[in-house]
Amino acid sequence: MLRVKYLSEMEKIEYLNLWIGFKRAVEGRTMVWEKLDECWKEVFRQSWESYKNGTIPVGAVILNEKNEIVSKGRNVGYDSKCNHILAGTAMGHAEMLALMQLKKEEHPNIEKYKLFVSLEPCPMCFGSIMMTGIKDVFFAATDGTAGSSVLQDITEYIESRGVRVTKESGDMEVVQIVLQTSRGKFTPVRKSIETWEGEHRGVVSFGNKLHDENYFKIAIDNNIDISEIYNGILKRYYSESLQNAYSNVASI
């Protein structure tokens, strides 16, 4: 017998969303890798490269007015093997590496450019994006610790710069949170994980499970492509989450 009538409205909504997500994943209607725009594919390729190199898994891409990729970057803040000038520094964020490549004289139409990043920009990155003149920013996962999209109208000057920040699909957020959570007790990501445990507890638990299984270490050792990893995360997350939901709801 089902005890659905005893569920809170929030629990009912959560289970319904899991069912919808699972249906989309198994039927191929969710934003699986093949349906991602090329810019987002490159964002997650960069994020995965950061993961493989022992730092925070964040990637960024910049498109010009013709929607061509003109710059890309990945987090190198804790990458001991990278020889980039920002590697090993507090400024080694994906957005910073991407922005550094855009010289003014070579990009006169930069105000028409768009920046895509897997994690909501921090204050430093938001300020840098604003000062370069880029108007449109898209991110996959909210950062409850350092995310600074709220700064877009905090002062008259910042508001006058006209930066528009948009959060994208929840499926990409799932993948980003799982990648960061699965880093385990890697200190730099712990605060972000703690903020996600409220709104995205199931995703965090799933990321911890993959960490305990050495899921991503095995993927690295076997040179598994990010496209396969991305699809695998979504399908397995929705499948297991739905099974857990049914276990919590149903009783004999």
- Among residues 42, 49, 95, 168, the one annotated as catalytic is 95
Decide if 213 is catalytic. Answer: no
pTM: 0.86
DSSP secondary structure letters along 27-51: HT-S--GGGS-HHHHHHHHHHHHHH
DSSP 251: -
What pLDDT, on the 0 to 100 scale, is given for residue 5?
46
pLDDT in tens, the chain (252 residues): 344 445 566 666 666 676 666 666 555 545 689 999 999 999 999 999 999 999 999 999 999 999 999 999 999 999 989 999 999 999 999 999 999 999 999 999 999 999 999 999 999 999 999 999 999 999 999 998 898 988 888 899 999 999 999 999 779 999 999 999 987 666 667 778 888 988 898 999 999 999 999 999 999 999 999 999 999 999 899 888 777 665 655 543
Residues in the chain: 252
Query: For position 86, what pLDDT does the model report?
Result: 96
Are 129 and 164 within 8 A, CB to CB?
no
Look at residue 137 in the predicted model and tell me its pLDDT.
97
Per-residue pLDDT at 198: 85
Question: 3-class SS at 242?
Answer: helix
Phi and psi of 138, rounded to 5°? Answer: -125, 130
Contacts of 204-208 spanning 24+ positions with Cβ under 8 A:
204/177, 206/178, 206/181, 206/236, 206/237, 206/240, 206/241, 207/177, 207/178, 207/179, 207/180, 207/181, 207/182, 208/181, 208/182, 208/184
pLDDT at 242: 73
Determine the pLDDT at residue 84.
95
Per-position DSSP letters for 166-180, written without gaps between them: EE--HHHHHHHHHHH
